[in-house]
Amino acid sequence: MNEATAIHMATQAMVVTAKIAAPILAASLVVGLTISIFQSITQIQEFTLTFVPKLLAIAVVVVVAGHWMIGQFIGYTSSLFQQLPHLLSAG
């Protein structure tokens, strides 16, 4: 394995990680921003008010997009295992 291959594999890992994490982070961001605006308007400063809606939004995202997330992860892992003989023989 040369440096270019290692960099490509690391880049792929980061891209897959970002793709998998993006829906969860986006939902958490939208819900958090909405709750923050609501708290600013009503001046309710309850810390637990943000936790439960974010938890519910993340649960909905995992239920809706979980199959796609697992598919992305399995596809990446499968491609790594397919590249393994080539990487070992090139060493």
pLDDT score recorded for residue 62: 96
pTM of the model: 0.79
Q: What is the structure's pLDDT at 48?
A: 78
State both tokens at 43: 């001046």
pLDDT score at 91: 55
Mean pLDDT by 10 residues, the chain (91 residues): 86 96 96 92 83 94 96 95 84 55
Query: How many other C-beta atoms lie within 10 A of the C-beta of residue 24?
Result: 15
Q: Interior CA angle at 39 toward 34 and 45, to 5°?
A: 135
Give CA separation, 13 vs 1, 9, 20, 64, 73, in Å.
Answer: 16, 6, 11, 23, 10
Q: What is the pLDDT of residue 29?
A: 96
Residue-by-residue DSSP string for 63-78: HHHHHHHHHHHHHHHH
